[in-house]
Chain A
Amino acid sequence: MKLRSALMAFSAGIVLMGSAANAANLSIVSGDTGNGLAVLREQLDIFEKNTGNKVTIVPMPSSTSDQFGQYKLWLAAGNSDIDVYQTDVIWAPQLSDQLLDLTDATKDVVGAHFPSIIESQTVNGKLVALPIFTDAPALYYRKDLLEKYGKQPPKTWDELAATAKEVQDKEREAGSKDIWGFVWQGNSYEGLTCNALEWVKSNGGGQIIEADGEISINNPQAAAALDRAKGWVNTISPPGVLAYQEEEARGVWQTGNAVFMRNWPYAYGLGNGADSAVKDKFDVVPLPAGSGEGAKSAATLGGWNLAVSKYSKNPKEAIELVKFIASPEMQKLKALKASNLPTIQALYDDADIAKGQPIIPRWKEVFQNAVPRPSAPTKVKYNEVSSNFWTATHDTLSGNGSAADNLEMLEAKLTKLKGAGW
């Protein structure tokens, strides 16, 4: 053991001296959407050149629910093939036991990040992952179409539905047969939890489970919010929206077949890419608000982090890699190329970013007021809570029981799941 750590210190010393001798082979696993993986490769190429270590990307499906199951399995099996995991903001409490504590290694850099994000990745005083970008969704709208029909970007969900319907119908009459009013993520997976949490929260219906652990979802405002969303399916949203994840929604949007889209900021840069049918034709605003008491715009807090597996054979190099990708330079690169929101406060005043991806400085306020999913109060049971919530929502949207009934059932299930406490 002593010999091994001595060797490790030795090899680390060599790496620091910039020599390529005794380089480590690292694996990073990521299920990023859009061009996320291509940007990651670009960053890794720089890392490889700087340190002489080799890094392989293990790509995963983009559904966060799919990734989680696989990662949990690998970690439970003590798999040492993967050194660095790209983790969702909600996973920290569920995986913390099998990830390395980064507190000491990142003492010098954590101060630059937003404290709330660092806190979300800290479990019992242990920093389990270093954030690389944060996320808060936007309402994408077609500037050209709204101007054409003299409409303003909507402030409430009802305005959105009315505008979407009108523009969609008129555009279809004008010959765009395939156009739809509004696309979002309605597949039964974690993304639907994000979407539905926004509808409920923006309608003054609480956040499923409050920070103190109280189950608040069974209330009339939440039911009204789900009923409203049900009204969109097959009127302003394609019936297939119930199977859409982020990329399917972006597919419809980016081919010019949607007036509005709810999606994360990554779609902003891609929408302005050379091959996009909506290039320079769209803009973003915060998501609409509901109606009734306590209604105001709400965005679900997302974001991705890098964590080092406890079973990594090269923890030292793996931590270096994590710190490298989370560094200001790399976050800036990712912001410019993939329009991901940085987690480093100073980058929101960066002139290049403001010019290249104008959404980013505008989104600082949105993500700072974003609503977290109840992963902190529900701890290891979060996935089941979320699955129950998205199933109740999906059932409601596909006409399988009314919102009020489904939420009442959901409350009963969550109460049972909670038992004596989360």
Chain B
Amino acid sequence: MAVAETVAAPVAGMRSDLMRQRVRSAWVFLAPMLIVLAMVAGWPLVRSIYFSFTNASLANIDAAQWIGFENYLSITRLKSGKILYDGLLADPIWWRAVWNTVKFTIVSVTLETIFGTIVALVLNAEFRGRGIVRAAILVPWAIPTVVSAKMWSWMLNDQFGIINDVLMNLGIISSKIAWTANPDTAMFAVLLVDIWKTTPFMALLILAGLQMVPGDIYEAARIDGVHPVKVFFKVTLPLIRPALMVAVIFRMLDALRIFDLIYVLTPNNSQTKTMSVYARENLFDFDKFAYGSAAATFLFLILAVITVVYIVVGRVNFDGGR
């Protein structure tokens, strides 16, 4: 659609044969991608939305019957006159999961952006062995999440974990901490691993932005005697802002649907249960496939709303450049 518009718009009045042909071939080239996308993303999405309005159970999906909005909210008036609210919108566990997810997203993306920027600035400087360091820093990002989550869960283990051992020997803590079990530290543990894992990704995207900044601007700033900190905030940051905004939205979408890390590190823990974990639990563990579908649909809605708000408020430009 976007292609057709940009190609066709300037010549709206006088469409030449050539132009029409180009539009047609653009569609032909896009078609395979659109068809695959519709099959692997569109169809499942439509199916889950459909199931969220039914009473489907995993054991007998074909017998699903349409029940309207009951999975989201159903209001029953009792004989005594009391009104009973039921469904996803009235489920405190769901709202707890939403809050957990939002909290996780805000903290993790903020810290990853800050650390990623610092790492990118360091990697942007000229020094010997820069290539090797750039490759090495990507290692946490390259390890599959399930593997790194399991690895960290052993490192964070209260009795055998290396982290407790190191902290004890350094005298920082006086008794071993159960990082993943303690409700106060469970979220911290998850954040720690996520930041460790995804900071390299942010650094890479920001580094790409940094390399677009022309060197003569810095030279001019240096000649004018501007303080380096001021240079960063007045020159570098505005120039890498487009790249930064795109990097942040990538991470935000990723963080809002976090599942694997939490599922391995702190399964079933109500302090870290996110929307995706909640949806999976209802879909497969409990006999509530339709209810889980409603949660998944709501997750999709929340994601969509946040993305749109972010793009509008942040004036993100996906075309690159300005």
Chain A residues in contact with chain B, CB under 8 A?
63, 65-66, 68-70, 72-73, 75-76, 94, 97-98, 178, 186-189, 238-244, 248, 251-252, 257, 380-381, 383-384, 387, 390-391, 394-395, 398-400, 416
Contact = CB atoms under 8 A, between A and B. Distances in A.
Contacts of A243: 158, 178, 180-181, 266
Nearest to A186: B181
**Dominant SS at the B interface?**
loop
**Dominant SS at the A interface?**
helix
B83 to A, nearest CB: 15
Interface centre among A70, A76, A178 (most CB of B within 10 A): A76
A394 B266 CA distance: 13
A251 B159 contact: yes
A188 to B, nearest CB: 4
B182 A239 contact: yes
Given A187-B268, A239-B178, A383-B286, A97 B159 contact: no
A240 B158 contact: yes
Nearest to A390: B268
A240 B270 contact: no
Interface in B265-281: 266-270, 280-281
Contacts of B286: 381, 383-384, 387
A251 B160 contact: yes
A239 B181 contact: yes
Interface in B87-110: none
A76 B58 contact: yes
Contacts of A384: 285-288
A387 B58 contact: no
B183 interface: yes
6 contacts: A69-B285, A97-B60, A188-B267, A240-B157, A384-B287, A387-B286
Contacts of B284: 69-70, 72-73
Nearest to A242: B181
A398 B176 contact: no
B59 interface: yes
- Closest 7 pairs (CB-CB, A-B): A240-B158, A240-B178, A243-B181, A242-B181, A69-B284, A188-B268, A239-B178
Interface in B248-269: 266-269
B182 A242 contact: yes
B182 A97 contact: no
B231 interface: no
A305 to B, nearest CB: 19
A239 B183 CA distance: 11
A94 B284 CA distance: 12
A386 to B, nearest CB: 10
Contacts of B180: 240, 243
B281 A66 contact: no
A29 to B, nearest CB: 15
A188 B270 contact: yes
A395 B270 contact: yes
Contacts of A98: 59
A101 B316 CA distance: 59
A387 B287 CA distance: 12
A380 B280 CA distance: 17
Nearest to A96: B59
B178 A238 contact: yes
A242 B268 contact: no
Given A72-B284, A189-B267, A383-B285, A178 B159 contact: yes
Contact of A239 (B59, B157, B160, B177): B177
Contact of B285 (A68, A75, A178, A252): A68
Interface string B163-180: 000000000000011101
Contacts of B37: none
A224 B286 CA distance: 29
B244 to A, nearest CB: 37
